[in-house]
Structure 1
Amino acid sequence: MLLRIVSILFPLFAIVAVGYLVARRKKPDLTAANTLNMDVFTPALVFGVLAGKDFHLDQFLPLAGATLTLIVSGGLLAWGVARLCKVQAKTLVPPVMFNNCGNLGLPLAVLAFGEKALPPAVVMFMISNLMHFSVGAWLLDHHTRLTTLWKVPVVAATLLGLVVSLAGISLWPPLLIAIKMIGDISIPLMLFALGVRLTDAHFGHWRIGLGGAALRPVAGMAVAALLTLVVPMPPLQQGMLIVFGALPPAVLNFIFAERYQQEPEKVASIVLLGNVIALIFLPLALALTLPG
């Protein structure tokens, strides 16, 4: 089992490490690449999965509801901890609510559970992104206009993909293949960019960094385990929900904190330490969920 877990996680962290090492030596500017990934490659991945003939939304409604509950519960727990520890809720709550379901979650799901895991992984990614660009942005700035949410490319791709799926529209197979090939660029680029982004983070605020980094997977796995007991889901989706709960904070939290000037240095520490201690929590989650 240990060898199996290592073989699953190694490709992910190897690509992240390559991105980190390249960034330390070459200091590449991935601004354009990250913009393309957010505006083109990732939307293509999401749309390709949702519009595929094998995707049936009704099979994932309980998982979608459980994912939404998990995200909201994490936020409420983090709010309580923030009040108790007298730290700003806007600093702690988003990194606990929103995990790295894109950079790490999507490739991890496929490596751990096979290609059949991509549709449910995309559903969880879809719910998390919709919440992050709406509720997450509103938490940091109450003047955020949610009416423009549909203009975010990944949100637009999600809505369009759902329309195609629910309407039963069959896309021309060569077109769908082309869209999926474009989407395939997103996952390795996400991992590489994560490694590059980690060179900008630091351990300056290690106390709140370590606390937030640990709270994210501990709360996530605990709530996910409870949800598997009350929400009827197939074993595959139950395992994926627990792994989802164990994921570290999303790098996007740091980007949002920087944009809204919400203690970005502290959020950077939470994100960095969260991705470091993922080396502990992700193997634990896999050990609990992978079939023997």
Structure 2
Amino acid sequence: MLTRIVAILFPLFAITAAGFLVGRRMKPDLTHANRLNMDVFVPALVFAALANREFRITEYLPLLGATLAVVLASGGIAWLIARAIGVEAKTFVPPLMFNNCGNLGLPLAVLAFGELALMPAVVIFMVSNLLHFSFGAWLLDHRVRLLTIWRVPSVAATFAGLAVGLSGIAVWPPLLTAVKMLGDISIPLMLFALGVRLTDARITAIGLGVFAAVMRPLIGMVLAWGILQVVELPAQEQALLLVFGALPPAVLNYIFAERYRQEPEKVASLVLIGNLAAVLFLPLALALAL
């Protein structure tokens, strides 16, 4: 079991570490690469999975509901904790509510459970991504217009993929293959870019960062376990939901904090320490899930 867990996690951490080392030595500007990833490659990955003829969104409605419950309940608990410890909720809640289901979650799902796990993993990512760009943005700035969320490329790809899948339209296989090949670029690039971005993060609130690094996976796994006692899911989806609960804070939280000027250095500390702590918590989640 230990050997299997190491074999699953090593590629993820190796690529992230490579990005971190390159970031420290060469200080590359990945602004354009990250924009391409968010605007082209990730949307291609999402669309290819949702528009696949083998994908039936109705089969994943229980997983969709369970994921939604985990994300929203995590946010509610984080808000109560923030009130209790006297921390600004807008700083503390998003990193505990929105995890790294893109950079780490998608490649981890494929490595741990095989290619067939990509579709349910994309469903999980879809729910978290839609909530992050809508409710998450509104949480930081109530002036955000939620009706413009469809302009976000990954969100637009989600709607387009769902429309194609639900309508039963068969995408020309060579075209779908081309879109999938574009999507395949996103996963290693996300991991590498995560490593590079971690070199820019400044640790200014170590105590709060360590606390959040423990609470994020702990709350997520407990909620996932509790929901699984109520919602009946296939074995693979149960494992994916449990691992989803253990994922560290999304790097996007730091980007949003910068955009909306919500104590970005504190959020950077929460994200950095949380992702470092994933070395401890992801093996635990995999040991429980496998």
TM over 0.5: yes
Q: CA offsets, 1:62-112, max 9 Å, x none?
A: 000000000000000000000000000000000000000000000000000
The equivalent of 1:181 in structure 2 is 181
Q: Provide the rounded CA distance (Å) in 1 between the counterparts of 2:110 and 2:22.
A: 26
Q: Provide the rounded CA distance (Å) in 2 between the counterparts of 1:134 and 1:157.
A: 15
Q: CA offsets, 1:187-245, max 9 Å, x none?
A: 00000000000001122210111111211100000000011110111010001000000
Q: CA offsets, 1:5-46, max 9 Å, x none?
A: 000000000000000000101000000000000000000000
The equivalent of 1:21 in structure 2 is 21
SS of residue paired to 2:42: helix
> Which runs of structure 2 are paired with 1:111-190 in the superposition (5 Å)?
111-190=111-190
The equivalent of 1:234 in structure 2 is 234
Residue 60 of structure 2 corresponds to residue 60 of structure 1: yes
Residue 201 of structure 2 corresponds to residue 193 of structure 1: no
The total of aligned residue pairs comes to 290
Residue 238 of structure 1 aligns with an amino acid whose one-letter code is Q
SS of residue paired to 1:28: coil
Deviant stretches of 4+, over 3 Å? none
The equivalent of 2:267 in structure 1 is 267
The equivalent of 2:109 in structure 1 is 109
Q: Provide the rounded CA distance (Å) in 1 between the counterparts of 2:193 and 2:261.
A: 22
Residue 118 of structure 1: how far off its partner (Å):
0.1
SS of residue paired to 1:70: helix
The TM-score normalised by the length of structure 2 is 0.99
| Structure 2 residue ranges without an equivalent (≥5) | none
Q: Provide the rounded CA distance (Å) in 2 between the counterparts of 1:76 and 1:28.
A: 38
Q: Provide the rounded CA distance (Å) in 1 between the counterparts of 2:123 and 2:252.
A: 18
Residue 64 of structure 1 aligns with an amino acid whose one-letter code is L
Residue 42 of structure 2 corresponds to residue 49 of structure 1: no
The equivalent of 1:95 in structure 2 is 95
Residue 53 of structure 1: how far off its partner (Å):
1.1
Residue 59 of structure 1: how far off its partner (Å):
1.1
Q: Provide the rounded CA distance (Å) in 2 between the counterparts of 1:139 and 1:260.
A: 10
RMSD: 0.5
Q: Provide the rounded CA distance (Å) in 2 between the counterparts of 1:234 and 1:227.
A: 13
